[in-house]
Every structure is written in structure tokens, then in C-alpha cells.
Amino acid sequence: MPAPRGRPGAADWMHILAPIVLALIFLNFFARVAAHGARVWQTLFVLLLFVMCVGQGIHISADSIDGRMQMRHVGPTDVPPTDNPVVQALGEPVIEIFDLAFLYDECIGHWIWYASLFAVVLLYVLACREPSSSHSASSIPTKLLAAIVAGFLGAWWFYAGIEAGTWQGTVGLTAALMVVVFSNRVRGMRLDINGRCFVASLLLATVLIGAWAVAFNGSMPGVWEVWLRNFPPVNPG
């Protein structure tokens, strides 16, 4: 999206609002499971939301600077400054700015943001359990809606993990949730429909990540990087 010179654009503001909306959604999720008697580590949950917002804030700031300097539109796309000959030709002081912005954008910001998000999801699914002997009150339309949501959510987990370079965390979260599923079964418990929706979505994302790895021989390029390969570099002038 185009943005005015020296000011955040519409995409930047949407990026800024994302963690706030996500935090409100999870606050509602945890309030509901707590109302049904589930144990919730409230302090840990709120702390993780704080960390998630900090990571997103670091990312959006560095990402905006990255985009304005058009690092991904001169020379190779979506590569570190050290691999971009156009950036390397700008001189050491400018290269240092590019290096720092890239580190905050693609590494520090992403991992602080997503690691805390993964932990929040794990805490939520841990609270979404019910006795295996209980009869689910979910109607067929509700189960169908949950399946649709799981499909869209799985596609998002896949896209976000690949694009952010945090797909290892996505796979790790899926493995942790499978441990939760089997642990609950041993204890005579099972996940409720909300927990099963999250588990199904992450299983789908893990399958898609595996297919992506096979398709690109393990190189794991970003989705935008693959898309941008079909377009000529933008003239920064």
C-alpha cells in the first residue's frame, strides 16, 4: 500500500493494530475458559501478551524502515544486507543501518512476537479440556464452522510461520499440542471443540510446511519472496 513520505501508511496502522486486536481476542478466550472452571495462569498469560506486543512493536518499526529504504526492491529480494550488492555499494554507515533494521525486523522482532504467541496458544489449549465421558453439546453446524475456521487458521499458521521464518516454532508448537492430546487421553480427558480446532489448524499448518520444504528442497523461502520473483526490481528513484 502506498504511504505518504515520512509518515506511516494504512498498512503500517493495520500492522500496529494487529497485536491489540489479537490480545483482546485471547483475553476473551481465557475469560471464557476460566468461567467454565478451567485453571488459568493469569499472570503468565498477561505477561506473554505484553511480550507479544513488544515483539510486534519491534517488528513493525524495523519493518517500516526496511520497506521505506526499499531493501527488498533493489537487488535480490528478501535477503540480508550482506547478500544484497546494491546495499553493499551504499557505504559502511548506511550498511550498518540496514544490518540493524534487518536484525530487528526478521529475527529479534519476529521471534519475540511469535514465541510468546505460541506460548499463549499452548496455555489456552491446556485449559480447553473436558472429561472423555462427557457428551459434546456442539451441534453439527458448530462442528462444521469449527472445521472451516481450522482450515483458514491452518493456512494462516503456515503463511505466518514461513513468512516470518518462525516455522520451526510452528512445528514445535504442534508437537507440544500432540503431547497435550495424549496426556489428556491418559488422564481420561479430551480437548473441547475449541482446543481441537487449534490442534487441527496447527496439524494442517505442519503438513503444509512439510510440503513447502519438499517443494523448495528445504530452502524455505518466504511466501512474498517467491511471489516477488515474478516481478522486476522497483527503481528506488
One domain, residues 17 and 110:
yes
Residue 88 included in any domain:
yes
Question: pLDDT band at 236, cuts 50/70/90?
Answer: very low
Say which DSSP state 191 is in. E
Please check whether residues 210 and 137 belong to one and the same domain: yes
Distances from the Cα of 78 to the Cαs of 72, 118, 146, 227, in angstroms?
5, 24, 35, 11
Q: In angstroms, what is the C-alpha Rg of the chain? A: 20
Range list of H helices, 128-166: 140-164
Are 82 and 165 found together in one domain? Answer: no
In a domain, 207, yes or no: yes
Beta-carbon neighbour count of residue 187 at 10 Å?
11
Number of domains in the chain: 2
Neighbours of 44 (CB within 10 A): 12
- Give the pLDDT score at 78: 59
φ/ψ of residue 54, rounded to 5: -65, -45
In this structure, the answer to whether residues 142 and 122 fall within a common structural domain is no
- Summarize pLDDT for 22-39 with one digit per residue, the tens: 999 999 999 999 998 888
Same domain for 40 and 95? yes
Top pLDDT among 231 and 134 is at 134
Tell me what the pLDDT averaged over the chain comes to. 85
Question: What residue numbers bound the domain in which 182 lies?
Answer: 133-237
68 and 155 in a single domain? The answer is: no
85 and 138, same structural domain? no
**What predicted TM-score, i.e. pTM, was given to this entire model?**
0.84
Cell reading at 235: 527503481
pLDDT digits (tens, 9 = 90+) for 35-74: 988 888 889 999 999 999 999 999 988 888 777 765 555 5
Domain assignment present for residue 5? The answer is: no
Give the cell for residue 176. Answer: 507440544
Helix (H/G/I), strand (E/B), else coil: 75: coil
End residue of a domain, out of 87, 110, 127? 127
4 belongs to a structural domain? no
- Single residue among 67, 94, 127 that ends a domain in this structure: 127
- Final residue of a structural domain among 127, 147, 164: 127
Summarised one tens digit per residue, pLDDT across range 93-102 is 778 888 888 8
pLDDT in tens, 104-140: 988 999 999 999 999 999 999 999 988 887 766 567 7
